Structure 1
Amino acid sequence: MTPLAKRCLAALVLTASSQAALAELPGMQGPQHVGFTVPDRQAAVDFFVDVIGCEAFYTIGPFGPFEDDWMSVNLNVHPEATIPAAHLVRCGDGTNLEIFEYTSPDQRTEQPRNSDIGGHHLAFYVDDMDKAVAYLKDNDVQVLGEPHPFTDGPMKGLTWVYFMAPWGMQLELVSVPFGSMGYEEEHRGRLWDPRH
């Protein structure tokens, strides 16, 4: 089999498996929100609104305390856990963020690192990495290192840098200043991108 034929076959298999995977959850359209828990919900909302530029929409709660095991049955948390409130915000042309504050007798307060199971981060697309980094630094936000451009591979064309929310959550800036990434040379499909 020629190299071109092998690539075509691989693309067909990838397309077929991707379509099969999309068919698994009836009616799935895409992520509607990302939820996470913070130590001080209002301080987190203020950071996302006042520094990042998100828009706050509404607040829900409180939830609990309940006299039964509703919290453990429905949310897989301690039965005595409570949610004083959760806030919904949206950042640019991206999915919604659901920002929770919990109380719980067994609550862990340390932030997971990216290397920990359950580690996570949120990435924000910016048009101009240098301006965005300077802005964060001007607002006393800790930026980790310097922006790193990918020069080859599937992420070729993307530049990234991590930064820290005031409560220790890991966040990231990404930018694709030349408009496309390396993977686009071989794949018909496209990752979601807030620019489109």
Structure 2
Amino acid sequence: MSLPGIVGLCHIGFAVHSIEEFQRTWGALLGLDDWLVRDVNQPDGLLQLHGEIVGPASSRVAFARLADTAIELVEPHDGRTRTSAWLEERGPGIHHLAFWVDDLDRAVAALGDTAEVTYSPAGRRPGLAAPVSAVARGHGALPLAPEPAPGFWAYTESRDARVPWCLELLDARSTDIVRAAFGDHLVYPPPHRPVPGDPLVEPQPPHVGDHLVHPPPHRPIPGDHLVHLRPHHAVPGDHLVEPRPPHEDRA
């Protein structure tokens, strides 16, 4: 089954041991000099890796625009992440392609058993819950851990493919959140154009500059079934003729 609702490529992700080394070599070769570099801290208990809740972790990421796409570099520092595990398993290189989808829940559901959600917010894997950090003795039953949120992104991987890479899916309805964090160093989908029956998007005003091609104004030719009718000339027996007023000499 094909993946539904892909609306555009966001970036190409690389797992690296050193962001600086990539910038000095490949970055210079590609002419990339405008990098956004951020330190990212992963809180304890909010993410899952292969179905297990993972603890705190930290990484450094860097983004740069390249032609009509973007590059992300991920340099793991501490803790367990999908990128740190990838470096241990396969070494540095291309790690993922990130695509925007119009509905992340629908896209993940469409993958079915053909792929695994290998890394994501814990709520993306049913049955996972954030751990309870501490419970005072003698004060009643254990409190229920809050249901973790599914988030707006997920790393997925094919169960059968021989070419290893991750497919990162990003929910296009969360574009504003990502743009606020990373600005124009990533590529974003065009504004959503509502379609009939789409309950998830509020109607928006028409866009200037449609990406669809409109047909030119129609110029009728002989035999064309789209030609507008000319003024009707009545002929005997024509049932489309409007009735005329009765003649005065009729009885």
| Bigger radius of gyration among the two | 2
**TM-score, normalising length from structure 1?**
0.37
**TM-score, normalising length from structure 2?**
0.30
Larger RCO of the pair (alpha carbons < 8 Å, separation 6+): 2
